[in-house]
């Protein structure tokens, strides 16, 4: 590390709030599936900004679309319509199969909106204010109070309690544990079809179908958090589409804008007609012309670049190479995940492995102390997978 980079890090530590244990590099630019630090060192990126940069870095068409919109109009507020928001909404509804959308600034805000939606829906049915939400253990939905309240990790919640209340937790893929929490006050069941921060556990088709049937029978809203597993990462625009188990409400973010701060919560027409109304929810920046230009362009580039098809081609190869790695190293207990959202469970903490990989020019992240997470740009190739495996193999041996 150069003296210049050390100085940058010292400056950062003197002014930024210490809420992250950052790795000791300063990133300056990106190109394709590679990032470069201020010393010019190149890193193969299997993090993608935590599943954000699906298209890779420095995509010319994406950059040019944003630059052109900056010269036109960046922000006006939601007192008025704007063309990019209309275009982005139409394309997002088309690929998601939903009917109504509200654009937010982040994934956590999308979860907040989803919580308000399901509670308003239930309130309009009976006028009660004590409706309950069932979420999943080990789930992660964000750091704001509502999103934190439905996050199934007590360690995240406890320092900030009391939470919003009337939230219960069940176990993913354990239908009986969900059924045991259901009462006449249950208004929604919330889960990630693939848990991200919670360890790359995948919801089973039978579990999802049972939840859908339960919700239909009791007029409970089924809510899917597709913030990390959505936008093509599983080989479908949204993970639920693999099984055809459609939610009533859905959240999305991360790769939705490929770097600009944008998320959304979506719903069916039935829910939209009987939940949030004028004055119930709002945002100053959400859905502004700049971020919606990004959303619209990302969706165009997904289609033009055959991104979903690339995920379906490369993901099985990544799974195979990870299984080979697991077979070579007794310290790897299990491979988890689906598509280009994979994890390796180790019998020990993985932070040292991540650090060694960084030294060798590979960016990885964890999903809990003992799980390596692989969420690369969706444009990676099999050659990139081989390069990653080679570096990781050496790091584990070390």
Judged by DSSP in three states, 10 sits in helix
Is 73-304 a CATH 3.20.20.70 domain? no
List the one residue out of 340, 111, 103 whose CA is nearest residue 230: 340
pTM to 2 decimals?
0.96
- Other C-beta atoms within 10 Å of 154: how many? 10
Local confidence pLDDT in tens for the 398 residues of the chain: 898 999 999 999 999 999 999 999 999 999 999 999 999 999 999 999 999 999 999 999 999 999 999 999 999 999 999 999 999 999 999 999 999 999 999 999 999 999 999 999 999 999 999 999 999 999 999 999 999 999 999 999 999 999 999 999 999 999 999 999 999 999 999 999 999 988 899 999 999 999 999 999 999 999 999 999 999 999 999 999 999 999 999 999 999 999 999 999 999 999 999 999 999 999 999 999 999 999 999 999 999 999 999 999 999 999 999 999 999 999 999 999 999 999 999 999 999 999 999 999 999 999 999 999 999 999 999 999 999 999 999 999 98
Any idea where the domains of the chain sit in the sequence? 3-59+306-397, 73-304
Task: Give the span between the Cα atoms of 40 and 361, in whole angstroms.
Answer: 11
The residues near 111 (Cβ < 8 Å, ≥ 6 apart) are 141, 142, 144, 146, 147, 150, 225, 227, 251, 265
The strand pairing partners of 37, in sequence order, are 27
- The CATH number of 3-59+306-397 is 3.90.1150.10
Q: What is the pLDDT of residue 198?
A: 87
């Amino acid at each position: 590390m150069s003296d210049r980079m050390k100085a940058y890090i010292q400056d950062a530590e003197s002014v930024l709030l210490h809420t992250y244990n950052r790795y000791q590099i300063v990133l300056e630019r990106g190109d394709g599936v590679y990032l470069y630090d201020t010393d010019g060192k190149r890193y193969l990126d299997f993090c993608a900004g935590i599943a954000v940069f699906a298209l890779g870095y420095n995509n010319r068409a994406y950059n040019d679309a944003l630059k052109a919109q900056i010269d036109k109009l960046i922000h006006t507020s939601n007192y008025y319509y704007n063309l990019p928001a209309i275009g982005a909404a139409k394309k997002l509804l088309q690929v998601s199969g939903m009917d109504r959308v509200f654009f937010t600034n982040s994934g956590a805000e999308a979860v907040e909106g989803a919580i308000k939606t399901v509670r308003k829906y239930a309130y309009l049915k009976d006028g009660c204010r004590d409706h309950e939400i069932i979420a999943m253990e080990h789930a992660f939905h964000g750091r704001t109070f509502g999103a934190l309240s439905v996050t199934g990790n007590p360690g995240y919640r406890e320092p900030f309690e009391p939470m919003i209340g009337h939230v219960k937790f069940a176990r993913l893929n354990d239908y009986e544990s969900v059924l045991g929490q259901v009462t006449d006050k249950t208004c929604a069941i919330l889960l990630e079809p693939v848990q991200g921060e919670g360890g790359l556990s995948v919801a089973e088709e039978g579990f999802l179908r049972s939840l859908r049937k339960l919700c239909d029978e009791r007029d409970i809203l089924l809510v899917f958090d597709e913030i990390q597993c959505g936008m093509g990462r599983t080989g479908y625009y949204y993970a639920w589409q693999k099984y055809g188990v459609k939610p009533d409400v859905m959240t999305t973010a991360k790769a939705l804008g490929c770097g600009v701060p944008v998320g959304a919560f979506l719903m069916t027409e039935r829910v939209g007609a009987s939940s949030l109304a004028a004055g119930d929810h709002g945002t100053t920046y959400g859905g502004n012309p700049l971020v919606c230009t990004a959303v619209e362009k990302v969706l165009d580039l997904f289609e033009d670049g055959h991104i979903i098809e690339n995920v379906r081609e490369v993901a099985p190869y990544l799974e195979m190479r990870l299984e080979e790695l697991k077979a070579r190293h007794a310290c790897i207990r299990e491979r988890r995940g689906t598509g280009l959202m994979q994890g390796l469970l180790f019998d020990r903490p993985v932070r040292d492995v991540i650090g060694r990989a960084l030294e060798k020019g590979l960016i990885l992240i964890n999903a809990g102390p003992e799980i390596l997470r692989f969420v690369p740009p969706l444009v990676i190739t099999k050659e990139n997978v081989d390069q990653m495996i080679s570096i990781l193999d050496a790091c584990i041996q070390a």
